[in-house]
Structure 1
């Protein structure tokens, strides 16, 4: 960046964040805590109905973990995208990072279902072949919602993938470094987003008006990015991405206010990344962070109390800020401690967090519950320990046998792509 006419170098993030083996310790610690929170939530809500009512009405530990994950993604994915590699190399890396393990879990779920150790939603069973293919795309949540997803925890992956699409668009349109105005805009539309009906293309409330709104929004966004692109080829790529991304996101099945909140959270994570890279001042970045926290609290004040359909619990306006704001604060504390080392067990959890996030749903259903107490330990607590330990063991195995090898393969392919790109960009230098 520049100050006046003097160029000021942007310090690499690696200089201001403690890392280990090419990974940022504070992010791994956060991933580990977030994944463990989701596992404990999903295990405990099956064992203790009272806890399930509490989590639905007061504090959702799993939802807290998901928001931590979204902040982590918002922080690290732009850093990965802006390393000077091609957009194609980025997507190759993401594919091998996410899809092989995800597809393995989908396959495992189908096998477990065939031996009556895993339940599948009725929506999936109505058209299993079609919905299996839909799940393979990882944007299944935007297409068919929770009624078709095979692995229950995988709904957030659809949001992650959509965020990658957004970032790709911003990169093509040369808008990717305008993180502060983008985050402010994303946070600012959380409230108005509540006015949009869910599933605007194929939902129960979808009609000519909602579908026309999707078409108009898609065209307008396509025009903006086509005009921002550097050349015709980039403009065509941007238009294609827009016509994939915008209809998908506007067809999300849940409350629109949550969808905008998820994406806003990821963009806030990007702003915090810009602080550590030296691209924006800490005062400006934390102001955006404070703005987001304030909007989340303010919007919650307008939430009308309601009865949770799953538990019958009375849910007030406090549920969302009590769940979401602590996730923001935890990330902020970890970021402020980014130069420090974190406990090795937590870092290990962070490394296997993606495996843990996906496989725990399979483990919870596949492993039977304890029916009697042992040495005075209640059966429910024994079951909880069995599920958590089982999920950790299986996740460690899948990380070693599937996730890490595929990630290494993706890295190898990226290296080859980068080398080819350098050859194409500087043919005379390479020839010499």
Structure 2
């Protein structure tokens, strides 16, 4: 069996597919609406924490609006990426599409950040400046968060893109191994890994505590994953692809720079999104899908109870067990609500916000060192004027980059995919 046949394997629905999801221009409306709200949440979070220290302390201690938005994004990705991957195209075509979807705008933002830094309008972390050439190359891969963490990241909001890219690598391995449609056990396994994942040290390859033992663990895990998926592959070509993907994905993921419980939580969230996609396509029953969803919420709450308070070094507030459930569970509930409304139309402004959401997500951090209003106008406080100005500027710039960078690259990528499919 060739790789193309694995990707295009027919669906064996558990029951007739549910009513068609409302779409516009080939895009699911409920997903675009969610993307728009998620991007706006991240923008408001980052702008507000710069302007109001009290809000920043609240968001660190109780409810992180930006983190809420990121979890919505992860659920959206978990829902739609398997659909894109299983559209009948080869893995090569999928990755070409993802490249032209993500990288051109990301690279443009990297260059813009460096130019803004040169005129003192954008701050770069000290870790990046310590070795700018190597760290810039690391950022070009979009996996910079797994390579060096926050200390080398140029575009502040791009850390989540490293997880997105890692998720694509994981899905590619599952496709090669013919396991991609086993979404319920995969989601449950990912959720259960959250607990032992909390015990995994950070940055096993190049962290402060890395040593021969931790690197040996990474090597052993890589060899095991590569061997398993090479064995499951249909032919030699896909076996080699599995070995290459495992050699990239496993070391990077195990080198995660933050708390392991969050790393596994991010991936588990994406797999929960995939389970809900399988439900809408009729591959699994709603009862099974919503059971997984409720299990995820229950586990998130249960694991949070054992989180030890941590003193945030920036705001000086204690981050307790309340923060994660108050932030993550509402993201799950919002996704569920929009999923239940998937047959209905959504307001066009919200759909437009969803179309430009990737541009908005990346662009907005580049304006946070822009000039601020210093005096009120017509009784409106200067901080509110600044917030409105920053948000409006982010929306205008994101609209421009969507039109002149994203869309042309999407079109070019589509032509490339057509050529690949024609072979």
Task: Determine if the TM-score, normalized by the shorter chain, exceeds 0.5.
Answer: yes
Matched residue of 2:372: which SS?
coil
User: Is 1:18 paired with 2:22?
Assistant: yes
How far apart, in 1, do the equivalents of 2:354 and 2:14 lie? 28
Any idea what the Cα deviations from partners look like across 1:401-432, whole Å, max 9, x if unmatched? 00011011101111121112xxxxxxxxxxxx
Structure 1 residue 243: Cα displacement: 0.9
Q: Distance in 2 between matches of 1:307 and 1:276?
A: 42
Other-structure match for 1:376: 379
Is the counterpart of residue 80 in structure 1 residue 96 in structure 2? no
Partner of 1:429: none
Give the drift of 1:283: 0.4
| Cα deviation, residue 231, structure 1 | 1.4
Aligned to 1:333: 337
**In 2, are the aligned partners of 1:109 and 1:150 still within 8 Å (CA)?**
yes
Q: Does 1:401 align with 2:418?
A: no
- Structure 1 equivalent of residue 282 of structure 2: 278
Tell me, what secondary structure is at the counterpart of 1:280?
Answer: coil
1:120 aligns with 2:142: no
Q: 1:281 to 1:10 in 2, by over 3 A?
A: closer
- Residues 280 and 208 (structure 1), Cα distance of their counterparts in 2 relative to 1, 3 Å cut: same
Contact 1:43 1:387 in 2 (8 A): yes
Name the counterpart of 1:311.
315
Could you state the TM-score of these two structures normalised by the residue count of structure 1?
A: 0.94
Match of 2:219 in 1: 215
From 409, 412, 417, give the equivalent of 2:415: 412
Match of 1:425 in 2: none
Q: Could you tell me how far 1:218 is from its partner in structure 2?
A: 1.1
Structure 2 match to 1:100:
104
1:172 to 161, 171, 176: 176
User: Which among 199, 215, 229 is matched to residue 225 of structure 1?
Assistant: 229
Q: 1:14 to 1:107 in 2, by over 3 A?
A: farther
For residues 184 and 73 of structure 2, the distance between their equivalents in structure 1, rounded to whole angstroms, comes to 20
Shift of 1:15: 5.2
Separation in structure 2 between the aligned mates of residue 29 and residue 12 of structure 1, nearest angstrom: 26
> 4+ runs of 1 displaced by more than 2 Å?
7-15
Task: Please tell me whether the aligned partners of residues 97 and 406 of structure 1 are also in contact (alpha carbons under 8 angstroms).
Answer: yes
Segments of structure 1 that go 5 or more residues without pairing to the other structure are: 1-6, 421-432
CA distance in 1, matches of 2:25, 2:294: 32
- Deviation at residue 252 of structure 1 after TM alignment: 1.0
Alignment TM-score, normalising by the size of structure 2: 0.96
Q: What CA RMSD, in Å, does the superposition of the two structures yield over aligned residues?
A: 1.4
Once the 2 structures are TM-superposed, how far is the Cα of residue 379 of structure 1 from its aligned partner? 0.5
Distance 1:313 1:154, change over 3 A: same
Query: Does 2:78 align with 1:70?
Result: no
Deviations 1:174-222 (A, max 9, x none): 1110111000000000011000011011001212221111111111111
> Aligned to 2:380, what secondary structure does the other structure show?
coil
Structure 2 CA distance for partners of 1:11 and 1:383, relative to 1, 3 Å: farther
Counterpart CA distance in 2 for 1:15 and 1:93 is 28
Output the CA distance in 2 between the equivalents of 1:15 and 1:95.
32
Matched, 1:186 2:190: yes
Matches within 5 A, 1:129-208: 129-208=133-212
Alignment equivalent of 1:387, drawn from 371, 384, 390: 390
- The Cα offsets for residues 295-327 of structure 1, whole Å up to 9 and x where unpaired, read as 101000101122211111122111100000000
Q: Is the contact made by 1:10 and 1:277 (CA closer than 8 Å) also made in structure 2? A: no
CA separation in 2, counterparts of 1:115 and 1:15? 54
Query: Aligned in 2, Cα 1:281/1:70: closer, same or farther, shift over 3 Å?
Result: same
Q: How many residues align?
A: 413
Cα distance in 2, alignment partners of residues 202 and 287 from structure 1: 39
SS of aligned partner of 1:226 = helix
Question: Following the alignment from structure 2 to structure 1, what is the Cα–Cα distance between the partners of residues 138 and 179?
Answer: 31
* Partner deviation per Cα, 1:104-153 (whole Å, 9 max, x = no partner): 00011111111111111111111111111110000011001111111000
CA distance in 2, matches of 1:130, 1:164: 25
Q: State the match for 1:50 in structure 2.
A: 54
CA contact (8 A) 2:18 2:280 kept: no
